[in-house]
Homo-oligomer: A and B are copies of this chain.
Amino acid sequence: MRNVRALFSYDGSRFFGWQRQDGFPTVQEAVESALHSLLGEPHTVYGSGRTDTGVHALGQVANFHVETQLDDERLLFALNAHLDEGVVVRALETCPDDFHAQKHAIGKRYAYVLLTTRFRPPFAQDFAHWTPDSLDLGAMRRAALDLSGEHDFSAFATSGSPRKSNVRRIASLHWIARRDRLAFVIQGNGFLYNMVRTIAGTLLEVGRGKRARDSIADLIASRDRTQAGPTAAASGLYLVSVLYAEPSFRGHATTRRPPGVFPLS
């Protein structure tokens, strides 16, 4: 059995998230079904982590064990030929036997995309969070500064899945903007449940002038989820890349600015 890791992009609006759920189309199930129909055996695919319904991926990573004569390149093409619309394998490579997409991940990069067009965008409604409000980018940039670094992010975590620690390290959070399209790209060593969407909802309040730009440090210190903003829509969230200590997917390296981050408006 050979251990293989693969780099996936998917349109989250077509799936009920990553993780297999009986009776609902999910990305994990789509990939496992494609492997089953291609290789004639059931397979388990291990993702770097879940994504929720509606959340997109530009660079989700998963690994699985296969027994096949197909080399990596042929397996890549064959797997894509068996996959449903809305999910694609961008790259695939044989990896060390002990590689595990979730356990070995040392960080993740997400993007959150906003559109501020005057009217609801006809093309991008599944691919961005739309608001007709004008947003103060300078204020949102200022507020974002206080999120960087190592903090207890309990104020930004939807409760439900209790964890040993809610301390995470945000390595970077930067905003990019082009006319009526805005996005922030956030990288960290891990994210709590709904953390990026809650950061988005909170920064949106800052952008609208409803929350002070210098209030984020106090908010973090409160460790109180009720003090943060709402969980912003799944449609704006993209898992851009998963980071590992060892080099992987050479030539498909994560880009600093995800190319797909600005959809049609």
Contacts and interface: CB of A to CB of B under 8 A. Distances in A.
B265 A85 contact: no
Contacts of A10: 122
A264 B123 CA distance: 11
A121 interface: yes
Nearest to A56: B123
A88 interface: yes
Interface string A57-93: 0000000000000000000000010000111111000
Interface string A223-242: 00000000000000000000
A259 interface: yes
A119 B83 CA distance: 11
Given A260-B265, A263-B264, A88 B121 contact: yes
A2 interface: no
Interface string A83-122: 0011111100000000000000000000000000001111
A86 B122 contact: yes
Contact of A9 (B87, B88, B122): B122
A11 interface: yes
Contacts of A121: 88
A13 B154 CA distance: 41
Interface of A: 9-11, 56, 80, 85-90, 119-123, 125, 127, 179, 259-260, 262-265
